[in-house]
Structure 1
Amino acid sequence: MARTNTVKKDGGIWETVKTVFWALVIAGIFRTLFFQPFWIPSGSMKDTLLIGDFLFVNKMAYGYSRYSCPFALCPVSGRILGSEPERGDVVVFRHPTRDVDFIKRVIGLPGDTVQMQAGQLILNGQPVPQTPNGIFAEPKTPQGPARSMPRCANEPVPEGGACEKPRFTEELPGGRSHDVLNILDNWPLDDTPVFTVPAGTYFFMGDNRDNSEDSRVPAIAGGLGFVPAEYLIGRADRVMFSSAGASLLYFWTWRGDRFFHAVH
């Protein structure tokens, strides 16, 4: 009887190992080909995306490159099954010079010219219409894992006070619109030279124009610069849930109005 029990026990362990192995394989295939989880760690896309938003990135949107796999291990040269992002898409991509993923909005397509003048986006020589859309307010408290403080238009604001920023609705060519936050106070990136987007690359900007490391700073100057198509990972379509706390595990800090929130 003891031997029979040992055989059953060994067989049960082996079945558990096989189950875990195939579960990991299936999860890896799902993550590589279909959807990748992504957590918003910074405020560069407020108020479209908030620190603590959790979403799944649609990896089928633009096809696949070696950056579609964890650790950039996909044996792919260039892109396969590729399609072009549209202006206004919110995209997760691999930073071209760092081993980190970024999320920003596509502003410039190949061949476009992009410039900022006094906080106004100029696209192909034409100002992009902006309509005032109230005030974005949030507590001035340390945010996200970096515990960074937001910039406020109504400074001085004590910690815990209401931090306010002007909000504008920006309408891109083609009719797609989104909100941006911008304190018009001569912030260095509110005025830029004219950038011409090279073939095969894209110009990205964050919706929080005062707090975004994006294509407005060229790669040669230590910024993001233009992003080649092979670095695109997928499109952000919908927030699944969101936590206002320091961790997604703090369920009592989840934002009830962010469940299945569409990303525009």
Structure 2
Amino acid sequence: MYHAGMASSGQAVLPPFVRLAAHEVRWRLLGELARSDLRVRELVTLVGEPQNLVSYHLRLLRSAGLVNARRSSFDGRDSYYHLDLERCVDALAAAGAALHPALRLLPPEPTLPARASAAPSVLFMCTGNSARSPIAEALLRHRVGSRAEVTSAGSHPKARLHPHAVRVLRQRYGIDIAGRRPRHLDTMTSRRFDYVISLCDKVREVCPDFDDHPQRLHWSIPDPGAISSDDAFDRTASEIDTRIRYLQPILFREVQP
């Protein structure tokens, strides 16, 4: 998709990612979506451009496969836009290789600090705290260990974890969360967090205020419990794990070993 070649005249052909990202508005949209899933009206405010212009550039980014959209589970008339970081990695690699073969670099694995003066604290939220947020909690803890303080909670916690969530973590990642129980968001409001990450559109609308003003991120991920199949939970866990991998450099970018 991002193959770069030469025009018949011998003139270099700009790689698609370079042509797309070189536009100021599109670059700003990519930057905002690299941080969090957002709705059009939020992007309009953040980039300070008219809605019709923002929508036009979003269509171009979607056509290139760099951005996708999902209907909001809170308001089906609305959509959340998400930057596909995996495709961006491929696109950047292709752009580098178009300049010189040695610049087709593989994405590095996240580097974790050997020690930190203060471990970043992260709260994951979804409505029931029975599937998406406990999966995210378990996967981040699995990847970074004690280098971060990780927990999860829900606005309307279920009585128990979804059995498919327990199954997918055990079978695919070797993580056992069978002994834990869903928690209520109200039990978290007195705690300090550096990052509060919502994984469903409904809980984003009711997230309580936290005194220390943590960074708020949103991942618009459908509830696999609405389908309740092995495949749905496998896809959800895979998407969350990908997002966790790209979250790690953000959590530790200001931490010195």
The answer to which structure has the higher helix fraction is 2
Q: TM-score, normalised by structure 1?
A: 0.27
The answer to which structure has the higher strand fraction is 1
Larger radius of gyration: 1
Q: TM-score, normalised by structure 2?
A: 0.27
Greater RCO (CA < 8 Å, at least 6 residues apart): 1
